[in-house]
Amino acid sequence: MSRLPSSRARAAWRDSLQSVALAILVALSLRAFVFEAFKIPSGSMIPSLQIGDQIWVNKLIFGPRIPFTTVRLIAGATPQHGDVIVFVCPEPPNEDYIKRVIGLPGDKVQLIDNVVYLNDQPLPRRPLGAGSFANRDTDGWLKVSAAQFEERLGAHTYTVLQEQGATAGRHGTMPPFKVPADHLVVMGDNRDHSHDSRVWGAVPMRHVIGRSTFIWWSWGEHGLDVRRLGHWVP
């Protein structure tokens, strides 16, 4: 004859289930409002972020949003020049993108011969020589040869790429553009391989999800790349 569980056993199971439910609720809340992991699927931010990098994104800093909406629960900080942000692309299918903030509301942004001009002043940059980088398309992994330039914007110093060869300079020019109120102009660091504000215009501030922080995992062309683990996004 089977025995019914004792009241003590039932209480222990109930406490365990409550603990599990609470842990799940905390984890989901942190993911929704504080930090979320994002995987880099494309090469538009090479070399700062490479395909297969997984980063933590701070969703609290700009003000947490109600999940699946653009409504912020509280106002937060404002993105700054040079920040690498995750946002919802204003162009259908409205996927999550990651780019660098180039222009803030009221700024005048222009691109002349691959040099960014902000409010009529060129961004400081210096050549670093040529480099070879792993990229990926529908046919698999490939090597991209590009000239490297150290660029400075706001509090950030980072490297941008300018491809050498047939496709070089295809996005190297952008007419003067004044950033509207409550919008941002963003670009990828891999300038010749980035679908960004040069194509679809400014990003509404309400579309911003958060700011990237550091790389916690990286699984690229050759598997795990331990050299990239723990690196802060420049």
Active-site choice (42, 44, 48, 194): 44
Active-site choice (59, 99, 194, 197): 99
Q: How far apart are CA 161 and CA 150, in angstroms?
A: 9
The structure tokens listed for 29 are 């809340």
Would you list the DSSP string of 43-111?
Answer: STTTTTS-TTEEEEEESSTT--B-TTSS-BSS------TT-EEEEE-SSTT--EEEEEEEE-TT-EEEE
Quick check: is 44 catalytic? yes
By the 8 A CB rule, do 218 and 54 touch?
Answer: yes
Active site residues: 44, 99
